[in-house]
């Protein structure tokens, strides 16, 4: 007999009781803030589809990171928007490209901020795909060499971690080898292991000016219908030397996150992507939902599902809420 002996509400009826039995605690340490850096100075160009986010120049990036650091956010991930794009994404691995310059500026001004550099070519190629294209197809193996060069350029500039997101087979191994050869054996790799071909990246592609000019990313990113395949992606990346693995997007993929977290011997990150953020912001602007409560609920759910860390555009907002 369950009721009336058992009453689940006994532990819910006071704030202290609820706090005492709370299973998941979101903390500022769980958050990684994604930031967009472009050429120029004094730049803060608002991204229309991502309220609260801007394209920054290296100097304003430093100013913004100072605010984040004061809020307790310890880590950022950088995405670069170059002035010039070309067929092979040269600015993505140029030693004086926008991301290496941003890293140097950040590390000089705020040496204690943990800087992660996203490693991909879609922001740097004129066709908007994540690697080398021939006859309309993305060539896997020639792309690996360029991703390795990009990772090394970012490590040389002072990146604390690199995060390959191109979904090229073998990218983690290639980057590990390239880093080790150049003396960066201690630079960890956060692999976007289970990255889906998702419509939730729409606002990011606006922000990073990286939408593919033809076709889509379905030949290299995962089919949203697949779960078992994600486990294999994770397994392969760990074999190749990934220090952490990521599931992306997060919200529509919490089942994947849980399964990966159950099996993964390495820490698991989740990317609460641009579209997930924009949906909340748009509805909150209309007054249809309470944006702050929704953000907290979403991030708590992502952590409850198994994420050790969360990449999120809500980072600052949530850091402020947590500080209250």
Separation of alpha carbons 11 and 128, rounded Å: 53
Q: Which is nearer to ligand PBG, 182 or 206 (CB)?
A: 206
Q: Which residue in the block uniquely carries the two structure tokens 């550099």?
A: 117
CB of 14 to ligand PBG, least distance (A): 39
Separation of alpha carbons 319 and 324, rounded Å: 9
Closest of 309, 192, 166 to residue 247, by C-alpha: 192
Q: With left for phi above 0 and alpha for psi between -120 and 50, is residue 242 left, alpha or beta?
A: beta
195 is catalytic: yes
**Contact by Cβ (8 Å): 38, 64:** no
Q: Which residue in the block uniquely carries the two structure tokens 């706090």?
A: 19
List contacts with ligand PBG (CB under 6 A): 118, 120, 122, 130, 165, 201, 204-205, 273-274
Q: Which is nearer to ligand PBG, 117 or 305 (CB)?
A: 117
Separation of alpha carbons 321 and 324, rounded Å: 5
Q: Which of 85, 195, 281, 303 is catalytic?
A: 195
Closest of 80, 95, 96, 97 to residue 34, by C-alpha: 80
Q: Which is nearer to ligand PBG, 143 or 165 (CB)?
A: 165
CB of 11 to ligand PBG, least distance (A): 37
Q: Which is nearer to ligand PBG, 60 or 272 (CB)?
A: 272
248 is catalytic: yes
Structure tokens at 138: 């993305």
CB of 201 to ligand PBG, least distance (A): 4
Q: Which of 85, 248, 281, 303 is catalytic?
A: 248
Q: Which residue in the block uniquely carries the two structure tokens 């912001």?
A: 281
CB of 194 to ligand PBG, least distance (A): 13
CB of 205 to ligand PBG, least distance (A): 6
Q: Which residue is nearest to ligand PBG (CB)?
A: 204
Q: Which residues are within 8 A (CB) of 176 and not within 5 positions of it... i.e. 6 or more apart?
A: 189, 240, 241
**Contact by Cβ (8 Å): 162, 145:** no
CB of 81 to ligand PBG, least distance (A): 12
| CA 70 to chain CA mean position, Å | 21
Q: Which is nearer to ligand PBG, 122 or 157 (CB)?
A: 122
Separation of alpha carbons 74 and 41, rounded Å: 24
Q: Which is nearer to ligand PBG, 100 or 164 (CB)?
A: 164
Residues designated catalytic: 195, 248
């Amino acid at each position: 007999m369950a009721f009336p002996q058992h009453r689940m509400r006994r532990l819910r009826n006071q704030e202290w009781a609820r706090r005492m039995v709370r299973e998941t605690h979101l903390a500022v340490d769980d958050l990684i803030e994604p930031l967009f850096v472009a050429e120029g100075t004094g730049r803060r160009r608002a991204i229309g589809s991502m309220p609260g986010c801007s394209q920054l120049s290296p100097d304003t990036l430093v100013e913004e990171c100072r605010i984040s650091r004061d809020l307790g956010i310890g880590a950022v991930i950088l995405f670069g928007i170059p002035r010039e794009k070309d067929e092979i994404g040269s600015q993505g691995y140029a030693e004086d490209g926008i991301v290496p310059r941003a890293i140097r500026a950040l590390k000089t001004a705020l040496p204690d901020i943990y800087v992660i550099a996203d490693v991909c070519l879609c922001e740097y190629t004129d066709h908007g795909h994540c690697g080398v294209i021939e006859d309309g197809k993305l060539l896997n193996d020639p792309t690996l060499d360029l991703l390795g060069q990009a990772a090394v350029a970012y490590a040389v500039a002072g990146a604390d971690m690199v995060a390959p997101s191109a979904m090229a087979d073998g990218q983690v191994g290639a980057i590990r080898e390239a880093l080790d050869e150049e003396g960066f054996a201690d630079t960890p790799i956060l692999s976007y292991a289970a990255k889906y071909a998702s419509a939730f990246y729409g606002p990011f592609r606006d922000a990073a000016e990286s939408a593919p000019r033809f076709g889509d990313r379905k030949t290299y990113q995962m089919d949203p219908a697949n779960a078992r395949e994600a486990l294999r992606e994770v397994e392969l990346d760990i074999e190749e030397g990934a220090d952490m693995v990521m599931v992306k997007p997060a919200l529509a993929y919490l089942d994947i996150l849980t399964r990966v977290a159950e099996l993964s011997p390495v820490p698991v990150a989740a990317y609460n992507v641009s579209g997930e953020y924009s949906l909340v912001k748009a509805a909150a602007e209309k007054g249809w939902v309470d944006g702050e409560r929704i953000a907290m609920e979403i991030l708590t759910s992502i952590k409850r599902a198994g994420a050790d860390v969360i990449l999120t555009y809500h980072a600052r907002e949530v850091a402020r809420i947590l500080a209250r």
